[in-house]
Structure 1
Amino acid sequence: MTTGATTTGARLAGTTEQLRRANLSRTLEVLHQRGPTSRSDLTRTLGLSRSTMAAVVADLEALGLVTETQPAATSRAGRPSGLVRPADDVVAIAVNPEVDAVHVGVVGLHGRVLEHTRIEVPDTRMSTIVPLATAAIRGMLADDPPRYRVVGIGLAIPGQVRISDGVIRQATHLGWTEEPIADLFVEATGLRTWAANAATLAMRAESQFGAGQGVQDLVYFIGGASGIGGGAIVGGRLLTGDGGYAGEFGHTVVRPDGRACHCGGTGCLEAEVDQATLLRAVGLEAAQADELPARLVASDDPAVADLVEEKSSLLAIAVRNALNTLNPEAVVLSGFLAALHRASGRDLTAGAVASARERVELRDAALGVEQLMIGAGELVFGELLRDPVLLATPVLA
């Protein structure tokens, strides 16, 4: 009987601890999504009792993940509710290597980009990229006393990444194959590191904080210096495929007898439609890519108009294929693809099956140049939100 009672007690204790950690996770997730929220609103949203909510907030404060501001006294009846906000100093480091530069940023909870720097690179060798990014990270963390509590590093890679161990299977534009990039950053910085496909992370950011908020069926296209990527959310769930490599819209064939692509095929969207060609057409450098939308729209050069017409018609083929295959509620365009669409004025849904396009909305990405930083941060914060107790104690460089 004693052994049975002990076993039952251990089971109940385990269940209680699991419930506590689940409540911590749910509460931090709401704060990460909404930002500062009153304790009374949290109580209603999560369906918890006032005493349980008070205990949850106290636990999160003790972990250093939230702060609660007590409101000023009012003449209203009842006790005023405190405002709970995500801690300002809990951050993720975001790294996004491209063919011409590596971007490094500091991202706070609730999708706040606190710092962002772009470092031009002489080449894309791993032995160049990792030290340059590491030096930038150490510079951002050089304050004494430390300004940030770093949960980890998120790597947004323009290529196929095995999420389970952060190994790059193939990033053709960068010349990387089977590179253990997450392990390399752990060795260089001492920080926990996760890696995933850049387009998938950008879509995750837009879904959480930008143009895709509340959309259950979403298709996302992004164009940048390292090519075209994409992703899809189906029924509110990220479409991953068997190995996590789904959503490669950049390799939709839009011209079967077209140009050779880095992937080994021909006529892929990213082989036929690229940022560098559009930048050259309007006299811009790679570092001026954010000026491309305005330049394309303002141009009165017939050659530019012809180029926009040709490239937008190819983009329309890829969008049409995505509509017919996935029947999304919204299509979000990002990077130079949004600029191309805006300059062309083309209806990218034309030619799709009528029932697949009748309700779809085409939207520009809302987070601009920060979406990859936010997305890489989400890769880290996703781990924190799953179990705040496990990851609340940061590892600092």
Structure 2
Amino acid sequence: MPSQPSPASGTRAHNLARILRLVHEEGAQSRAALTEATGLNRSTIADLVAELVRRGLVEERVPDMPGRVGRPSPVVTASAGVVAIAVNPEVDAIEIAAVGLDRSILVRERLPNEVLPTPEGVAKTIRERVEAWRAGPLAGARIEAVGVAVPGLVRTTDGVVRNAPHLEWTDVPLADLVRSATGSPAFVDNDATLGAIAEHRYGAGRGIDDIVYLNGGASGIGGGLIINGRAVAGAGGYAGEFGQNRPRISADGDRRTGDGVLEAEVSRRLLLDAVGLDAADDETLDAELTSSESPTVADEITRQANVLASALANAVNVLNPTLVVLGGFLATVADLRSEQIAADVGALAMSESVEGLEIRPAALGADRLLIGAAELAFAGLLADPGERT
């Protein structure tokens, strides 16, 4: 996700952005807490909050505190009425949600695909769902922008999907298509990059600044990197494609392809086949794998964990992260084989690189990519609230 230009430090616009980002990322804050966090005086905080209230970006409310004597101090919250439309088009379904500036998910739908979605079809679906929601859960809401998390290589400067092989998209101007269809600003980035950002800000990686994130979805395995607290995407924006690396597989019984890449060996499709499902969302697949007593299912989970650990060991040797976060179906594999994966990574990686290393499943679950897409859509607003009415 490209960084957004911010107002000069110390200016009124900069301080408005500081307050807005604090209540967006940290949740409800009292004026006293905002004063302490920013170092600004109480009268300045009161003036900035009043302006953000006027612009409809935050709300002030008095908390309900039964038994308290006297009038409690009001708290400042980001507005649920300022909304990002978050979208994740996949080969099996299009997920779409409306996410408030307070990070509440106001409405969410998973729309299964009968055939591979086209870029034009995705843009049309977004328009249709938003129009329907405006008559219901988004009545009166203000849509800030649309953020799209795509399983493929994205040129973030203009929202062109360079290559999403499983969707069969090449050089697609997706941001322009969505903007034309909806009339709202639209931004596009790689799904795993956005998942990494979401988990770093709000999930398993909160407070940790060096993270490798792997996302397991219907299109395969992608990755995102957080280095020194910042998302790193590489020169062209295409870093983190762990799924295209070839893992070291020492046991012939663990190999499913002749010389396959990671996402061919560690595969959601193979797990679905093992439990006898044609398709399923992440929660359903997780439940089936977790409850299964089949030796075939257990063997497939163990095999995938073996191969995954070899790929993680390579990432740990190269990047020396504090934390590895696994999302999607990889989170289920990590949950079910946590000790095995940790032991294998410890055995395969350099001992110095695994000192203090943790491997965790994504904490945001099925919401991680949608939360990441919403962050993309809100990025400009959070960097500079501007003169909004």
Query: TM-score, normalised to structure 1's length?
Result: 0.88
The answer to whether the Cα contact below 8 Å between 2:120 and 2:177 also exists between their aligned partners in 1 is no
The answer to whether the Cα contact below 8 Å between 2:195 and 2:224 also exists between their aligned partners in 1 is no
Deviation at 1:70, TM superposition (A): 4.5
Of 151, 161, 166, which aligns to 1:158? 151
SS in 1 for 2:222: strand
Cα separation, partners in 2 of 1:289 and 1:30, compared to 1, 3 Å? closer
Structure 2 residue 61 is matched with structure 1 residue 64: no
Partner of 1:178: 171
Cα separation, partners in 2 of 1:181 and 1:304, compared to 1, 3 Å? same
Partner of 1:311: 304
Structural mapping, 1:1-397, within 5 Å: 19-70=11-62, 81-123=73-115, 124-143=117-136, 146-254=139-247, 267-345=260-338, 346-348=340-342, 349-350=345-346, 351-389=348-386, 392-393=388-389
- Which AA in structure 2 matches 1:168? V
Aligned partners of 1:97 and 1:16: how far apart in 2? 37
Q: How many residue pairs get matched?
A: 372
Question: What is the root-mean-square deviation of aligned Cα atoms in Å?
Answer: 2.4
Aligned partners of 1:87 and 1:278: how far apart in 2? 40
Gaps of 5+ in 2: 1-6
The answer to whether the Cα contact below 8 Å between 1:251 and 1:269 also exists between their aligned partners in 2 is yes
- Which AA in structure 1 matches 2:337? S
Aligned partners of 1:218 and 1:242: how far apart in 2? 19
The answer to whether the Cα contact below 8 Å between 1:255 and 1:268 also exists between their aligned partners in 2 is no
Deviation at 1:285, TM superposition (A): 3.6
Percent sequence identity over aligned pairs: 44
Aligned partners of 1:310 and 1:81: how far apart in 2? 56
Deviation at 1:303, TM superposition (A): 2.1
Deviation per CA, 1:280-315: give whole Å up to 9, x if none. Answer: 111234234312233323333222222222211110
Aligned partners of 1:18 and 1:72: how far apart in 2? 34
Deviation at 1:72, TM superposition (A): 8.6
Deviation at 1:170, TM superposition (A): 0.4
Aligned partners of 1:80 and 1:21: how far apart in 2? 29
The answer to whether the Cα contact below 8 Å between 1:34 and 1:110 also exists between their aligned partners in 2 is no
Deviation at 1:278, TM superposition (A): 0.2
Deviation at 1:135, TM superposition (A): 1.1
SS in 1 for 2:60: strand
The answer to whether the Cα contact below 8 Å between 1:107 and 1:377 also exists between their aligned partners in 2 is yes
Which range is displaced more, 15-24 or 42-51?
Answer: 15-24
Deviation at 1:373, TM superposition (A): 1.1
Which range is displaced more, 97-106 or 277-286?
Answer: 277-286
- Which AA in structure 2 matches 1:115? V
- Which AA in structure 1 matches 2:322? E
Deviation at 1:194, TM superposition (A): 0.5
Deviation at 1:54, TM superposition (A): 1.2
Deviation per CA, 1:251-293: give whole Å up to 9, x if none. Answer: 12115897789xxxx5211122110110111123423431223
Which range is displaced more, 137-146 or 58-67?
Answer: 137-146
Deviation per CA, 1:332-370: give whole Å up to 9, x if none. Answer: 111111112223341342211111112011111111111
Aligned partners of 1:159 and 1:103: how far apart in 2? 16
Aligned partners of 1:273 and 1:17: how far apart in 2? 47
Aligned partners of 1:214 and 1:18: how far apart in 2? 25
- Which AA in structure 2 matches 1:98? E
The answer to whether the Cα contact below 8 Å between 1:111 and 1:209 also exists between their aligned partners in 2 is no
Deviation per CA, 1:65-101: give whole Å up to 9, x if none. Answer: 011125699757xx96321111120110011100011
Deviation at 1:110, TM superposition (A): 3.4
Cα separation, partners in 2 of 1:18 and 1:42, compared to 1, 3 Å? closer
- Which AA in structure 1 matches 2:123? V
Which range is displaced more, 140-149 or 183-192?
Answer: 140-149
The answer to whether the Cα contact below 8 Å between 1:225 and 1:275 also exists between their aligned partners in 2 is yes
Which range is displaced more, 294-303 or 93-102?
Answer: 294-303
Aligned partners of 1:132 and 1:303: how far apart in 2? 39
Q: Which runs of 4+ in 1 moved over 4 A?
A: 15-18, 70-76, 255-261
Deviation at 1:111, TM superposition (A): 2.4
Aligned partners of 1:155 and 1:41: how far apart in 2? 34
The answer to whether the Cα contact below 8 Å between 1:166 and 1:183 also exists between their aligned partners in 2 is yes
Aligned partners of 1:359 and 1:17: how far apart in 2? 36
Cα separation, partners in 2 of 1:192 and 1:385, compared to 1, 3 Å? same
The answer to whether the Cα contact below 8 Å between 1:102 and 1:133 also exists between their aligned partners in 2 is no
Which range is displaced more, 359-368 or 121-130?
Answer: 121-130
